[in-house]
A = this chain, B = another copy of it.
Amino acid sequence: MNPDLTDPVPAPAGKSEASAANAVSALPPVYAPLYQQIKALLMQSLQSGKWKPGELIPSETELAARFKVSQGTVRKAIDELAAENLVVRRQGKGTFVATHEEEKVQFRFLRLSPDAGNRLQPENRILEVRRLRAPAEVARLLALKAGDAVIFIRRLQCFAGAPTIVEEIWLPGNLFKGLTLERLAEYKGPMYALFEQEFGTRMIRASEKLRAVAAEGRISELLQVDAATPLLHVERVSLTYGEQPVELRRGWYLTRDYHYHNELS
């Protein structure tokens, strides 16, 4: 209602935190636009778990009243959250916290497609789940200290019965207490859905490094290919709110009949 920016954000509580949180936004700060402050407040509710994946968040009019701003301002804040895939708008129904349950979301993070034919659901085989101390490199990528507790998972994915992907996954131990091989093996659906539902950790973004490597040792055995077969190696670091790394995943992809698909724009 009042765009007076000498008063950072005319919201019920946590006003100064709001503009502080916005200091993330790089520029010569002072005061961020109202809609960015509101976006930061909404993001806090997402991050804190106050609004959980799949849940309905308050309506635009409700939020506008709560923050004492116009609906258009709330709308712009939510627009950006939707553009970042943190929430999903549904006309007539409301705005929902995004979740890894949705099919569309799954294929944003599973980039392997068959050269011919339709996409198949992979069959997962969990080979190993262990608790370890983080090696130096793993610790660095997960922003932990070397020796901190981590969970190590090795799994094999098959498409149409053919072994295609071996993955080694490293998780911060403190975030995933109680994760067992049994729990992983019995869970149907994407692993990230399990993480957000059972452990309250939602992956929202990831950064990957791809290279070509030669198959060797256990990897070639699991994929049932000769040593030295070219494999696509993918190292992924997944992040949750606040750029916090929550998963390191190293995958070896057999790309004889499949390819990694990427859109540039």
A205 touching B264, Cβ below 8 Å: yes
Check if B232 sits within 8 Å of A212, measured CB to CB.
yes
Q: How many copies does the complex hold?
A: 2
Tell whether, in the assembled complex, residue A228 and residue B228 are in contact, meaning their CB atoms are under 8 Å apart. Answer: yes
In the complex, are the beta carbons of A230 and B214 less than 8 A apart? yes
A259 and B209 contacting across the interface, CB-CB below 8 Å? yes
Inter-chain contact B84/A265, CB cutoff 8 Å = yes
Residue among A236, A258, A259 having the largest count of chain B Cβ atoms under 10 Å: A259
Complex CA distance for A211 and B214, rounded to whole angstroms:
13
List which A157-215 residues lie within 8 A (CB) of chain B.
Answer: 204-214
- Inter-chain contacts of A260 with B (CB < 8 A): 209-211
Q: Please name all residues of chain B whose beta carbon is closer than 8 Å to the beta carbon of A47 when the two chains form the complex.
A: none
CB-based nearest B residue for A236:
B264
Which residue of B111, B213, B253 contacts A230 across the interface (Cβ within 8 Å)?
A: B213
| Interface presence of A231 (CB below 8 A) | yes
A207 to chain B, nearest CB (A): 6
Q: Does A103 contact B (CB under 8 A)?
A: no
A87-109: contact bitstring with B at CB < 8 Å (1 yes, 0 no)?
00000000000000000000011
State how many angstroms separate the Cβ of A6 from the closest Cβ of chain B.
22
A206 touching B264 by the CB < 8 A rule? yes
Q: How far is the CB of A238 from chain B (nearest CB, A)?
A: 8
Q: Which residue of B is nearest A260, CB measured? A: B210
Q: Does A220 contact B (CB under 8 A)?
A: no
Whether the pair B259, A211 counts as a contact (CB closer than 8 A) is: yes
Q: Which residue of B lies closest to A263 (CB)?
A: B207
Is A255 interfacial (CB-CB < 8 Å)?
Answer: yes
User: A2 on the interface (CB 8 Å rule)?
Assistant: no
Interface residues of A (CB under 8 A from B): 83-85, 108-109, 111, 204-214, 228, 230-233, 236, 253, 255, 258-265
Q: Can you identify 12 A-B contacts, CB atoms within 8 angstroms?
A: A83-B83, A204-B265, A205-B265, A207-B264, A209-B260, A209-B261, A210-B210, A210-B261, A212-B253, A230-B230, A232-B232, A262-B262
Given contacts A108-B265, A211-B260, 10 further A-B contacts (CB under 8 A): A111-B264, A205-B265, A206-B263, A207-B261, A208-B263, A208-B264, A210-B210, A212-B231, A212-B253, A262-B262
